Amino acid sequence: MSCTLPGRFRRQTAVATNPVVIGDVVELELGEEDGSGQIVEIAPRRNKLSRRAAGRRVGVEHVIMANIDMAWIVQSVQKPKFNGGLVDRFLVMASVYDIPAGIIINKADLIDERSADAMDFWSGLYEDLGYPVVFTSATTPDGAAQLRSELAGGMHVFVGASGVGKSSLVNLLIPGADQRTSHVSERTRKGRHTTTFAELIRIPGGGWLADTPGLREFGLVGLEPPALGHHFPEMARVLPECRFPNCTHDHEPGCGVKERVHEFLVGSDVVDAVISAERYESYLSMLAAVRLGDADTGR
Ligand SMILES: Nc1nc2c(ncn2[C@@H]2O[C@H](COP(=O)(O)OP(=O)(O)OP(=O)(O)O)[C@@H](O)[C@H]2O)c(=O)[nH]1
Ligand SMILES: [Mg+2]
Ligand SMILES: [Zn+2]
């Protein structure tokens, strides 16, 4: 059903680009004749996932979805290639809003000799940090079997770069979902921004799954420099060891975080004591963005 939104809702939300989003619980008034409706009330949100609105002034947020039980960052093995920096930005924003997050590595059928070690590395890294990691292949009939059990019940959202296969996964998981998909450019190895608006689709047997448009970047909102480290679980654990309580872990003496930045060793029993160089690099890139008040550098 198509519904209108009175202008007063737009005026109320000067800091967000979109006053009503997928996942919102709304009260409708139904039109008498044409079956259309008008939104008269938006219920308070249990939570939301936002990013900084692209190309807008500082502080304007774009809400991706409200009332989420689990947010999934979808990445692909190749075409486009795995982007740890984007995963880390997404995980930080999910943590800011206190939303459980997981990682889907799609196009597992494209794992070859060259990419196998990298995929072991990334999946091991995020699993050790406590995030669920699920490999999928949307072009294989049973390529999402494990993911299906993770999605049983609740409100889920797929977020990720264009072309990683979010809509293809939705189509495999939900027969009849009928989301449009399109080839990745051979030249740039990037997607074509095929999905243009977010859609929440009912999962047969229970739960809801949102397909969203591909992200160009994941700009941070609502973060101050000393807070950033708290959203990296491996850093949060050692923060009490920093000499200064507002340590930002880049230039301060007596920093417990910097001391622990090492090459991550897969399967090593010292993993708990170690912060991977990749994650620390992500942290520094985000810190620079947060300091500038322009959290949009992407990677
Ligand atoms: N080999 C392989 N190709 C896949 C897989 N999943 C998706 N693709 C292909 O990747 C391309 C992009 O898939 P989409 O589902 O449109 O990607 P998307 O993430 O929804 O992209 P946007 O809507 O632009 O954000 C299509 O050509 C798919 O057939 C997979 O698991 N393996
Ligand atoms: Mg899509
Ligand atoms: Zn420190």
Percent of the chain, pLDDT > 90? 73
Domain with CATH 3.40.50.300 in the chain: 48-211
How far apart are the C-alpha atoms of 27 and 38, rounded to whole Å?
8
Confidence band of 1 (pLDDT split at 50, 70, 90) = confident
116 C-alpha to center of ligand 1: Å? 20
pLDDT digits (tens, 9 = 90+) for 236-285: 999 999 999 999 999 999 999 998 887 545 555 554 558 999 999 999 99
Over residues 88-109, the mean pLDDT reads: 97
Closest CA to 234 of 287, 278, 299, 298: 278
How far apart are the C-alpha atoms of 144 and 148, rounded to whole Å?
6
pLDDT at 85 over 90: yes
If you classify domain 48-211 with CATH, what class do you get? alpha beta
- Chain mean pLDDT for the chain: 90
Return the minimum-mean-pLDDT range out of 95-109, 231-245, 259-273, 284-298: 259-273
- With a 6 Å cutoff on the Cβ, whether 139 touches ligand 1 is yes
Q: Quote the pLDDT of residue 92.
A: 97
pLDDT at 295 over 70: no
pLDDT digits (tens, 9 = 90+) for 28-77: 998 877 778 899 999 999 999 999 887 656 668 899 999 999 999 999 99
- With a 6 Å cutoff on the Cβ, whether 213 touches ligand 1 is yes
The answer to whether 283 and 229 are in contact (CB under 8 A) is: yes
pLDDT digits (tens, 9 = 90+) for 114-139: 999 999 999 999 999 999 999 999 99
- With a 6 Å cutoff on the Cβ, whether 214 touches ligand 1 is yes
Residue owning the nearest CA to atom 2 of ligand 1: 107
Closest CA to 299 of 50, 81, 95, 103: 81
225-292 has CATH 1.10.40.50 classification = yes
DSSP category for residue 263: -
- The residue to mutate among 147, 158, 181, having the most atoms of ligand 1 within 8 angstroms of its beta carbon, is 181
Q: Quote the pLDDT of residue 10.
A: 76
- Please identify, by atom number, the ligand 1 atom nearest to the C-alpha of residue 140: 31
- Please identify, by atom number, the ligand 1 atom nearest to the C-alpha of residue 143: 31
Domain with CATH 1.10.40.50 in the chain: 225-292
CB atoms within 10 A of CB 58: 13
Residue owning the nearest CA to atom 14 of ligand 1: 165
Phi, psi angle pair for 63, to nearest 5° = -80, 125
- Please identify, by atom number, the ligand 1 atom nearest to the C-alpha of residue 195: 23
Confidence band of 214 (pLDDT split at 50, 70, 90) = very high
- The residue to mutate among 168, 178, 183, 218, having the most atoms of ligand 1 within 8 angstroms of its beta carbon, is 168
Give me the residues paired with residue 165 across strands. none
How far apart are the C-alpha atoms of 77 and 20, rounded to whole Å?
34
243 C-alpha to center of ligand 3: Å? 7
CB atoms within 10 A of CB 251: 8
